[in-house]
Structure 1
């Protein structure tokens, strides 16, 4: 699976949520997430736990650059009864590298997932994930992402690279 991603800092949370509601024509969905990242040779591997007790194991690769970037990923759904055991195995085999706790507002605008995240100990951020159809090129996805970024009022100077876990680790160092 592939998508084009954009991540940015959020300056005016309430205003961005209102724009996302208008563009999606929905009130959105609020999702609490607890992500544990594991040490892997390339890409990133995380176990994302939800309030229901269920989880997703997600492996992804994407460059750490600002602006639109191609991300390829694989995902497995884990039912609640197996989540803790899976975490123990992954932690023992690979070691964990960080934990990210967030409240995510999810809005769908066409084929794009608009995430507005309040990340514990970090702040507010926005992610766009344009889920590419098999026939679409990365350039097609970049065009959609840039247009939506403009519609949401996201400024180019607010674009960022990396993952939340990287930002949290940098914050701990300084």
Structure 2
């Protein structure tokens, strides 16, 4: 199963973060709209990512709900019919919730840097260090920590869990 080392954090100044990411990636980043539907499952997380263009991905992943760099293992299956797949999985498993976001993707070395505007939550960043077969988790964590420093991401801004968890928490508190 492929893996990456991930971190997620809040972003107080998305313009400044985008500027630093652009400098490091030497690109303006790619804008991607995503509608993620999370389904009930007994282990890990199962989501259908709809790219809002007739394509999508069914993604299963497992990772600990801790802040800081953490290992995530995942499986991805592409689909050209996300709406029908969503209906089937909704009937079979039930929907846990949905996340809508606009993502600006930057590639820096082996790391996918996301600047996300999440509907109902605000601005966040994610680092996904795509692990090479020969790399250890510790090496991936060090790549993430170094990039955090370069991007000005503080330990205090780190977030645990997935956007779905944050949305569900917001719903319980209101």
Query: Shorter-normalised TM-score: what interval?
Result: over 0.9
- Which residue is 1:61 aligned to? 62
Q: Deviations over 1:12-67 (max 9, x none)?
A: 11000000000000111000000000000000000000121100000000000000
Q: Gaps (5+ residues) in structure 2?
A: none
User: Quick check: 1:160 aligned with 2:159?
Assistant: yes
How many aligned residue pairs are there?
172
Cα displacement (A) at 1:85: 1.7
Q: Gaps (5+ residues) in structure 1?
A: none
TM-score by length of 1: 0.98
User: Quick check: 1:112 aligned with 2:130?
Assistant: no
Cα displacement (A) at 1:127: 0.3
**Residue aligned with 1:33, SS:** strand
- Which residue is 1:6 aligned to? 7
Q: Residues of 1 paired with 2:66 and 2:133: CA distance?
A: 24
Q: Residues of 1 paired with 2:167 and 2:88: CA distance?
A: 24
Q: Residues of 2 paired with 1:12 and 1:32: CA distance?
A: 20
- Which residue is 1:99 aligned to? 98
- Which residue is 1:42 aligned to? 43
The Cα RMSD (Å) is: 0.6
- Runs of 4+ aligned residues of structure 1 deviating over 4 Å after TM superposition are none
Q: Residues of 2 paired with 1:86 and 1:119: CA distance?
A: 23
